[in-house]
Structure 1
Amino acid sequence: MKTYGALLSTYCKEKMLDKAIELFEKMKELSFTSALNYNNMMSLYLNLGQPEKVPSLVKEMEEMNIAADKYTYNQLMNSYASLNDVNAVEEVLETMKTKKVIPDWFTYGNLATIYVNAGLIDKANDVLQKLEDEDMLNGLDRETFHTLITLYARTSNLLGVNRAWVSLKLTFAKPNNVSYLIMLLALFKLENVDGLEKCFAEWESGCSTYDVRLANVILESYLNRNMIEEANALYESVVSRGVEPNLRTLNLFTNYYLKKQQMDLALKFFEMGVSKMSSEKSNWFPTDETVSMFLKYFEEEKDTESAEKFCEIMKKIGRLESNASVSQLQTCIAAGKVGTLDVSAS
């Protein structure tokens, strides 16, 4: 039985639907099924974008007297959420209570996420407040608090964000870099500039390992507010610590200077990013948004010199066809058809 279950789990994780269904049917014939096996099949269907298959599996469990557990009900809630049936989601919670399956942090966190995604902000806040009021956070890990902070930010609830942050700091004597990053992102989303700068200063003054991802959050805040002197000062501070700016850093500066039509500086940071791509083993840079901004500028300003440099840089990373020449680019600029160039990621 354990062998069958382990194999089914593998098929489900690898999204091998046909093999999973065949094995699952065989397990049912042998009476080898359990809640765990059904849960694995539900996860598979959800991962494959087939949420409508989940309710029938739960019904089948009931018919076979296989008791559903919290994970079963959470997946059932997610299936109804994917089908935009919030009423059915709420009925699942009531069923859990009837069946004496006690909802826990994960269940309520899941429900709050569903409410947020459905735009039911008041209901989401009520659920999150319930988590705090019923003291469900005791003994939980950092990830739980991170989720709470993120969800409160998504409901635009600054008081909730701050309460969750205080609770985290009371539970863990010293927040780690990831915790500070989550808090900074929440404050950034809420556009709470004072809180953002205070939190960043607190982290920076006490961090043992400097993490450029945190600096990027406040850097983006500076650039969004056209505070280029402060952004440059922070950039220099990061470099002076012996920390290398990452692709995110360089992308922020590239886009900022593009928006300001300062092409020399935009190309400078763009080229730095391209040079750094191999060391970070990443292929997301440049983003489609960045490329579109470059092309729009070239088309509007007829800047063939900058376009030539851009073209050469893009060739280095395989984002221009090998036969794309400068003359072709110049022709496209003149004709107002720069967007016809093939600059898609490989």
Structure 2
Amino acid sequence: MWAVRRASVPLRTRGYNVRTSFIKLARTNCVEEESGITESHAITQGGLLLWNQRFHSEQSASLDFTVWRRGISSSSTKEDDDLEDGFSELDTPAEAENENDNLLDSDAESEIDNLLDSDADDGDKENVEEPHNEVDEVVKEEGKPRRGRVESELFNEIMNSPPGMSIDLVMDNWLAEGNELTRDEVSHAMLFLRRRKMFGRALQLSEWLESKKQVEFLERDYASRLDLIAKTRGLIKAEAYIETIPESCNREIMYRTLLFNCVGQNNVKKAEEVFSKLKHLDLPVTVFACNQMLLLYKRNNQKKIADVLLLMENENIKPSSLTYSILIDTKGQSKDIDGMDLIVDRMKTEGIELDIKTQAVLARHYISAGLQDKAVALLKEMEGGNLKQDRWLCQILLPLYANLGKVDEVERIWKVCETNPRYDECLVAIEAWGKLNKVDEAENVFETMVKRWKLSSKTSSVLLKVYANHKMITKGKDLIKRMGESGCRVGPLTWNAIVKLYVQTGEVEKADSVLHRAAQQSQMKPMFSTYLTILQQYAKRGDIHNSEKIFYRMKEYQSKTKMYQVLLTAYVNAKVPAYGIRDRLRADNISPNKTLASLLVQVDGFRKNPLSDLLD
């Protein structure tokens, strides 16, 4: 069994038991200073890894584990700067800064989906549009046989109902017309509502079914309701709902679903409370729950990864493929390619095969590190010998080859898809051609999509992003006008693309105005990254007034550390002290990381410099 260790003050002397309390872990953060950071060295002794963190103290823990000692935070400043965790209008992660998050989260999401939609046939996923979903979610289940597209009369009835009509009335009318309400019909309707991120309508349908006693509620139905409440009404109400669920239902499944949503919403405090509650209620702590905490800490506080690994060691929880993928990704983010390769070797020693998702994570980090030969060799290994047979791989290979700048490879793979393209393949192809500065080719793929699936906000948003990256403001505005004339449903993805379009051309005030009007006219929330884009531009100018205005609009989002970093940058650039900023941080329960601590020193209005000391 693999083991971990932290080179810090021994756990016993810090007043908590890592096996039982993650709440206390959240309160032991310390502000790193440059003087307290040292680089550690690798010691391989047969174990998986040691996530050796660098604290002020030079003491090291003396735990009885075989270790591999290497610091993951050698690039901590870069990691701190990349803590952008966006959220869409329905509190799901949106446009993560690191594309690998989409790959890693999909494993956890599929486990929850299997629980919630186990009765429903998946149907033909390629032809189902999902407005406002991530455009980068390109990995499908491998080896799954394709089946004919499944239709749902109930779903069609809900979609075709007049705007504003309640689900209660839709369902009453549907039954009055003599339709039979079967569990299969309900399952398919719920599945398609979820795919389209229509969580509010799905929740209303669930509530109607229970109130009318149309179907017998099973364990997965309660878990589905819990998931929908968390997504639409918040985590507090979701946790309260658990208390109303019959005792016969598996409590571990319910808390696992709640934990999944806490991590999805990047709510560190609530996730730690739920994880701790699993132990308090004597519920089993599974590898799924540990993986969720690893994902959470990978994004927010990598110092705590070691504590999760230690818990897994003590509880004899065997790491899964996703566990290794998360650790590989974390090492890659820290630019520790040797450490990343060591985890891969250990993974193979444990007899765990690298799946395509993990290989894609590896390839991205090889590309980022400039190791093109290793990346190309890995991509060829992923591709295998028959791409036409393994068609689903095209969605993964296209963006990776684009990142490598391989025009010929992108063209070769696209030819496999071109004669009969699938929806998701087209989306990634537009982005791939855009990255390669082949705007004409991106436009050709877009027009192919329009002819086959009609113009939609999702497809338009991807091309708008290409136009924004190439500062093609005229083409972007023409596409926006075309969307309006076609009656496209415009939502957060489109707003995000429009904002970036204006920002790239220096029209920040225009981007701000567009986003403000869009948010006022819609019940949907803009994505976190959209607001952050505008905030960053105002901060560069040292525009404190507008930076504070945008910051205020972002208060409902969870990723506040990054928000404060950008806000303080505005004060630094304006050369103005930020009075009371430490009180604001305490009120938001934020412990400064290294980057934030450095900014706090610069905006401290009461700080004295050597010259002022002489004058005093």
Q: Give the alignment of 1:202-241 within 5 angstroms.
A: 202-211=448-457, 212-217=460-465, 219-220=467-468, 223-224=471-472, 228=474, 233-241=478-486
State which of 343, 347, 367 in structure 2 corresponds to 1:96.
347
The 8 Å contact of residues 394 and 413 in structure 2, kept in 1 or not, is answered as: yes
How many angstroms apart in 2 are the aligned matches of 1:217 and 1:238? 15
Q: Structure 2: which 5+ runs fail to align? A: 1-249, 263-267, 553-572, 579-616
The 8 Å contact of residues 247 and 276 in structure 1, kept in 2 or not, is answered as: yes
Question: Partner amino acid for 1:184?
Answer: I
Q: By how many angstroms is 1:135 displaced?
A: 5.5
What is residue 162 of structure 1 aligned with on the other side? 411
2:374 is aligned with 1:132:
no
How many angstroms apart in 2 are the aligned matches of 1:101 and 1:25? 32
Worse-superposed segment, 249-258 or 126-135: 249-258
Give percent identity, aligned residues only. 16
Distance 1:165 1:18, change over 3 A: same
2:390 is aligned with 1:148:
no
2:358 is aligned with 1:107:
yes
The alignment's TM-score, normalised by the length of structure 2, stands at 0.38
2:444 is aligned with 1:198:
yes
What SS does the corresponding residue of 1:287 show, helix, strand or coil? Answer: helix
What is residue 374 of structure 2 aligned with on the other side? 123
Distance 1:51 1:201, change over 3 A: same
Q: Tell which has more relative contact order, 1 or 2 (C-alpha 8 A, sep 6+).
A: 2
State which of 518, 524, 532 in structure 2 corresponds to 1:276.
518
Distance 1:51 1:68, change over 3 A: closer
Please report the RMSD computed on the Cα atoms of aligned residues, expressed in angstroms. 4.6
The alignment's TM-score, normalised by the length of structure 1, stands at 0.61
What is residue 51 of structure 1 aligned with on the other side? 305
Q: By how many angstroms is 1:131 displaced?
A: 0.4
Distance 1:293 1:35, change over 3 A: closer
Q: Structure 1: which 5+ runs fail to align? A: 260-265, 297-310, 322-336
Question: Partner amino acid for 1:287?
Answer: I
What is residue 175 of structure 1 aligned with on the other side? 422
What SS does the corresponding residue of 2:354 show, helix, strand or coil? Answer: coil
What SS does the corresponding residue of 1:100 show, helix, strand or coil? Answer: coil
Question: Partner amino acid for 2:275?
Answer: A
Would you tell me which structure has more helix in proportion to its own residues?
Answer: 1
What SS does the corresponding residue of 2:306 show, helix, strand or coil? Answer: helix
Residues 61-109 of structure 1 deviation map (CA, whole Å, 9 limit, x = unaligned) = 7xx4x54432232233234335543223212222333332222212212
What is residue 300 of structure 1 aligned with on the other side? none
The 8 Å contact of residues 54 and 76 in structure 1, kept in 2 or not, is answered as: no
State which of 287, 302, 320 in structure 1 corresponds to 2:534.
287
Q: How many residues align?
A: 288
Residues 297-342 of structure 1 deviation map (CA, whole Å, 9 limit, x = unaligned) = xxxxxxxxxxxxxx9xx8xx96699xxxxxxxxxxxxxxx9998x9
Question: Partner amino acid for 2:444?
Answer: K
Distance 1:275 1:7, change over 3 A: closer
